[in-house]
Chains A and B, each alone.
Chain A
Amino acid sequence: MLVVAGREQLPVPQARNGDPDAWDALFRRYQRPLYAYVHELVRDEQTSLDIVQETFINAARHIRGLRDDDRFGSWLFSIAHQKVVQRWRKPDRSEPLEDDHAADLADDAGNPRDWLIQREQEEAFMNRLATLPLHHREVLLLYFVEDFSLEDIAGITGVAVGTVKSRMHYAKQALRKLIEERVP
């Protein structure tokens, strides 16, 4: 059994050669972040599980088209994102997409792991996250679950880097406000 210690040591070349153990390791590494990302967007357990499964099947079929092994994570999330968008395009989609804001805002990111949430605020945090506009939520989730760069997020969501910056800025403002309201 292969052990995945970090992003740099992902067994992508072995997976490309069809090694089932490599795929097991990759699936194990990404299944929970991928599921969390998808579920926060589609909000349905069975649909989320279906999308995760379809994502890995598609990844296995098309991995020879992946040029840069270091970008496996963002490539995998971009497949999942496409699957989510396909679901949204179906007639039963109820969540509207909002307009973009102006681009080129400063990236006041920091490290997502540095955001600390008190136990009493966890539920409020998730509720606040769920009320964010869809495009803001998706960039923030990609930032939280995998610490993707703005360029990676732009590649996954298929929008310009400036647009990602803008969405990230407004989404963080909304969440940071909540986190800074410390419980005494």
Chain B
Amino acid sequence: MKNPLQVLLEKHRSAGPKLDALRHDFVAGLRQDASVLEASDPSLAAVLWRELFWSCRRVWFGLAGVWALILVLHVSTSADAPATRRVAQTDAPRLAEMLQERQRLQEELLGPTTVAAPAREPEPMRPRSQRTLVVRIC
């Protein structure tokens, strides 16, 4: 009678020599090059790089792409803006001249359109009961 562990180990007994060979190689590697163990304490920068950036690099690259696109759009639109301003500045006097010409033509055809309204004298201050209601019928 055997317990499950004994049955399991018995089943894999044939792998024993290969495992021994692996162990010998591993230990021999350690004896020759102890730097395998020195690599066990990574620097903080390396840990941060791996955990914060490299683990979700697709997201970071995606964000970088979006920002690059925004930057390109921003640069291209701000490059257009001075030209627009220059056009507006050169057209401004001509526009003012055209408006003046139109106003002059309108006055010639219709006559002066603005009539000065007669100045109303302000009513003296009275009590509310003594005020008179004036209704103008035009």
Contact size range, A: 35 or more
Which among B12, B23, B27, B40 is the interface contact of A61 at CB below 8 angstroms? B40
B52 contacts the other chain (CB 8 A): no
- One digit per residue, 1 when the CB lies within 8 angstroms of any chain B CB and 0 when it does not, for chain A 113-133 equals 111111100100110000000
B83 contacts the other chain (CB 8 A): no
Q: Contacts of A61 on B, CB cut-off 8 Å?
A: 36-37, 39-40
Query: Is there an interface contact between A144 and B8, defined as CB atoms closer than 8 Å?
Result: yes
Q: Which of B13-21, B57-65, B66-74 lies on the face that meets chain A?
A: B13-21
Q: How far is the CB of A148 from chain B (nearest CB, A)?
A: 12
Query: Is there an interface contact between A117 and B7, defined as CB atoms closer than 8 Å?
Result: yes
Query: Is there an interface contact between B22 and A49, defined as CB atoms closer than 8 Å?
Result: yes
Query: Is there an interface contact between A122 and B7, defined as CB atoms closer than 8 Å?
Result: yes
Query: Is there an interface contact between B8 and A52, defined as CB atoms closer than 8 Å?
Result: no
Q: Contacts of A45 on B, CB cut-off 8 Å?
A: 15
Query: Is there an interface contact between B7 and A62, defined as CB atoms closer than 8 Å?
Result: no
Q: How many residues of B contact A (CB 8 A)?
A: 28
Query: Is there an interface contact between A32 and B7, defined as CB atoms closer than 8 Å?
Result: no
Which among A23, A113, A119 is the interface contact of B27 at CB below 8 angstroms? A23
A57 contacts the other chain (CB 8 A): yes
**A166 vs B37: C-alpha distance when bound (angstroms):** 39
Q: How far is the CB of B68 from chain A (nearest CB, A)?
A: 32
**A35 vs B3: C-alpha distance when bound (angstroms):** 18
Query: Is there an interface contact between B9 and A18, defined as CB atoms closer than 8 Å?
Result: no
Q: Which of A90-149 contact B (CB under 8 A)?
A: 112-119, 122, 125-126, 141, 144-145
B125 contacts the other chain (CB 8 A): no
In this complex, what residue of A is CB-closest to B28? A20
Which among A23, A35, A53, A116 is the interface contact of B1 at CB below 8 angstroms? A116
Q: Contacts of A119 on B, CB cut-off 8 Å?
A: 1-2
**A144 vs B31: C-alpha distance when bound (angstroms):** 34
Query: Is there an interface contact between B26 and A56, defined as CB atoms closer than 8 Å?
Result: yes
Q: Contacts of B39 on A, CB cut-off 8 Å?
A: 61
Q: Contacts of B5 on A, CB cut-off 8 Å?
A: 33, 112-113, 144-145
B95 contacts the other chain (CB 8 A): no
Known: A24-B27, A49-B18. A62 touches B40 (CB 8 A): yes
Given A60-B36, A122-B10, 17 further pairs, Cβ under 8 A: A23-B26, A35-B15, A40-B8, A45-B15, A49-B15, A56-B22, A60-B37, A61-B37, A61-B40, A64-B41, A113-B3, A116-B2, A117-B2, A122-B2, A126-B8, A144-B4, A145-B8
Residues of chain A touching chain B, judged by Cβ–Cβ distance below 8 Å, are 18, 20-21, 23-24, 27-28, 31-33, 35-36, 39-40, 45, 48-49, 52-53, 56-57, 60-65, 112-119, 122, 125-126, 141, 144-145
